[in-house]
Amino acid sequence: MIEVLLQVPVIGMEFEQFAVLFIAALAGGAFGAALGALPSFVFTGFVVFLGEGIAILQREIGSSLDVAGAGNIATGVTGTIGFGAVTGPHIAFAGGVAATAYAGRKYPEMEPDDWDYHFGKDILYAFGTKPDILAVGAIFGVVGMFVTQVMDGLGFPTDNIALSVVATAFLARIVFGYPIVGKAGGSSLLDMSPFEREEMRVAADGGTETDRLATEPWLPHQYKWSGVTAIGLVGGILGGFIWLKTGSIFMGYAISAMSLLFLNLGVEKIPVTHHITLLGAVGAVIAMPAIGSEPAALLVAGAFGAISGLIGELSQRVFYSHSGTHVDPPAMAIAAFMFVLGLLYLAGLLPNAGYLGL
């Protein structure tokens, strides 16, 4: 009874532990703003890659060496750091996204000359040590942590880190005065043709905003349905293959996240695939108990990767392209797809729910 009273309601964590997490999340969110949202996520990839590598090593030799506490090593790197308060996307990336949305309103003069979209979408931008921007990142880092912890405590059946990334991005739009969806520049929210024609946005006075495109697709090189499907199949198969050979669901995700270093450095046409490789691995995890065939599991992995890629593309067309801030299409894809899989598992229609702790 005393232990229950000492815990934070719903979250189920002792108040002292929660205080530590709260303080760390403040710093993590500010860290994401300082580095920039995308650079902070690249660090997520490196840290998760390290943690998963340690986990694979543990499974191979740890038990035979009988290392005391070996089971906690990978958890400490992947969970506590990679997906925790230091580089967790719901904290560092979310803090960076909110900081960029704030700067897009408060400091438009900071926009780089070669940036074609609204500055509130420039998640490559590192804000360094500007105190008010770091403060915004810190606040949203805490909000992201809190949303994740509460939804986990409620047992909500999805990837609640991804869900939190989406929720805080929409919250930033509300707080800083951006439209939730925005006005379509073409015939519908799904129409990307104004971007292809390089049409400019119409200003409130009837003129044109010469510095801003009418439609701003999330990735200019990755928005056509055929290309998204193709990279989805490829990435999904690779994510499934990595799980089959290593037992790590998150290794493919980590490699995808690390590859975004090149996108951040300006290498053209680097695809964004972490939502694809992750769901590809999940597809293989679900398929193997049901089918028992590795080639068939890889085909399922490819299908899951393609579906996740297409959900991400649909999400960007509706929620990213027409407003002025970043709402993350991969996080939307992961949250939506894992929610469906979580419900199907709870209904007894799937043998497992991937990495969800249901």
Average pLDDT over residues 246-267: 97
- Is position 353 within any domain? no
Confidence tier at 153 by pLDDT (50, 70, 90): very high
Q: Output Rg (C-alpha) for the chain, integer angstroms.
A: 21
- Is position 355 within any domain? no
pTM for the full model?
0.94
Q: Is 113 exposed, middle or buried (0-12, 13-18, 19+ CB in 10 A)?
A: exposed
pLDDT digits (tens, 9 = 90+) for 302-329: 999 999 999 999 999 999 999 999 999 9
CA–CA gap between residue 250 and residue 57 (Å, rounded)? 15
* Cβ pair 77, 84 in contact under 8 A: no
Residue span of the structural domain in which 308 resides: 12-347
Looking at residue 57, what is its pLDDT?
86
**How many structural domains is the chain composed of?**
1
Q: What backbone phi and psi angles, to 5 degrees, belong to 212?
A: -145, 130
- Is position 145 within any domain? yes
CA–CA gap between residue 314 and residue 17 (Å, rounded)? 39
- Is position 28 within any domain? yes
- Is position 352 within any domain? no
Pair of tokens at residue 51: 């943690």
Pair of tokens at residue 111: 């926009």
pLDDT digits (tens, 9 = 90+) for 90-141: 999 999 999 999 999 999 999 998 898 999 999 999 999 999 999 999 999 9
Confidence tier at 7 by pLDDT (50, 70, 90): confident
CA–CA gap between residue 157 and residue 341 (Å, rounded)? 8
